[in-house]
Structure 1
Amino acid sequence: MKILRFAVWMFLVIPIILASEDVLYFRRQEGESVDLPCEQGERGTPPIGLYLKRTGVGPEKEVMFFSADRPQVMDPADEDRIHVHGSLSRNLLNVTISQLQRKDTALYYCQFIYNGHPKDEFVAGKKSFFVFVEVEGIHCSCSNYPPLLYAISAAVGLLLLILICLGATQCCKSCKQRKPQTLVPIYEEMAGVRPANGKAPRSHLEILHQEETDHSMYASMNDNPQIKQRQENHYVSPRGTRLPLQSGDTSGEEK
């Protein structure tokens, strides 16, 4: 969980903070100090208190509370490092953090408290402050965070795998839609066996064409009077000569 928060903080929150006009950026070395100018808005009455809060990789945290007396530091270890210059009656107060440490890198903002009825009113200051503390001789490098590298690599690999699967699915769908569906005639399936002479069986269209040709030839033969006469006279030879009579018929004529 901490690794995820750190990744979000480094790659998402920090670029937004640096690009914002309402955020002041302070870059300091470890052991130096920084002054945070807390400026309140224009209101008729002065505030009754001031909070200095910070947010970063972890949850939001109260660093200091300042009222009319003196600042109250939440962490006793930081009590000697935080000081306030100015008063609440002025529009601007300076909060100084000295002896900066690497853990002080965070986003800070001021929150003024105004007396109200029935509840007090909390108003944020005009500016927020991003403090980045560098350690001398140590540069920020991703190689110092092996778990973070593993998490980022796993996330990138999973994303690539999802994209590849989606692309393959879309490609298969498009190929199925473009592939024509060939219709196999029923008579071809029923034939199933080739003839013994090795020739492929004639198609249904060829058979119909042959039948139409035979029918037309038969009709033309019936329309021809010579052919029709020959068909009616069984004694006429194909050459038009009379066939010889049988012996029985000859004897009958002689009698």
Structure 2
Amino acid sequence: MSVVHHLWILLVIHSVLVCGGIQFLEQHEGDSVVLPCTINPRGRSPVGFALKRMWQDPRQVLFKYTNSDAHVNSDADKPRLMVAGDPSNNSLTVTLSELRANDTDHYTCEFVVPNRSSEDEHVVDTEFFLLVNAVTLGRIDVCAGGSAVIPCLPPHDEDLPVEGVSLMRRRGRAPIELLYHTKRHIDDGSTSTSRFQLWSAPGPSGFTYNLTLRHLQSEDSGVYSCQLLLRRQADTSASLDMTKAVFVSVEGGPCGCSNYATLLYALSSAVVVLLVLLTLIFIYHKRAQRLAASRPLVPIYEEMTGVKNLGAKQDDDELSVYKNGGVKKSCPLNHYETPIRSAF
């Protein structure tokens, strides 16, 4: 709904509360509402009844003659409307199921009372303002053959001993009951109980219950609602509570969900390892640069002086060897001496 639409709803609710005489009803999408229509007794019994919308979509919803079936004007509303009672009894009830957000409107119960002297009277003694709130469903995506966990909640958040569990699913217009399991009675139709497993776990506010759906296939997709059956409480499991429902979507074919998750985990781990290695290399490079910058440089003059002193020291060592070692210098040979003398 837009902001302007919400403002209009607030204005209408305010007028309802100020003017009075109109019953305010608030429901959620997917729920049902019962409109008890009555008329104060008059001289003659009513011969007809009409339910009308007066504000958002002004039109006649249905009309019923006494001792006849109700005629619903819209084909889309026929499976959602049910009338119980007869106008001749000055009261009847209209049930509107599978509510939608556009069902929000001002409804009037109009009885047709015959009048001999003039035209028939159209009397309205009962009016309703129905507000249907949109519901944001939780979503669970499952691969074919996988499992889904659905929370099971008590009907009115009451803390009573759990007697059993009921599982409802809606794919079309009307919900169907997949599982009804109590300590006194087990009825799950053609569905095997091996597909369902109810388990509990302690929590901050007591025990919490969950129902596991296993071996799901594409035809199992739909809106699910799990409701706990409590002791000493009326069984309301025949209706699907949209405020506590979740939408389970099962993919058409088998998919490697686990392999895909494993692949994602491996890729993420490789990225983390690569980032750690790059960080270590960067730290090592920076540390090497700091060590090189902190090492003192030797002046060029000192290096040259050290080389000269080393050369002078080597010359002195050679001279000392010649002086102290008694090494005689070789004399030049006299090439004029005779070979004989030279031999002696």
TM-score by length of 1: 0.48
Higher strand share: 2
TM-score by length of 2: 0.36
Higher helix share: 1
Of structures 1 and 2, the larger Rg is shown by: 1
Which is bigger in relative contact order (C-alpha 8 A, separation at least 6)? 1
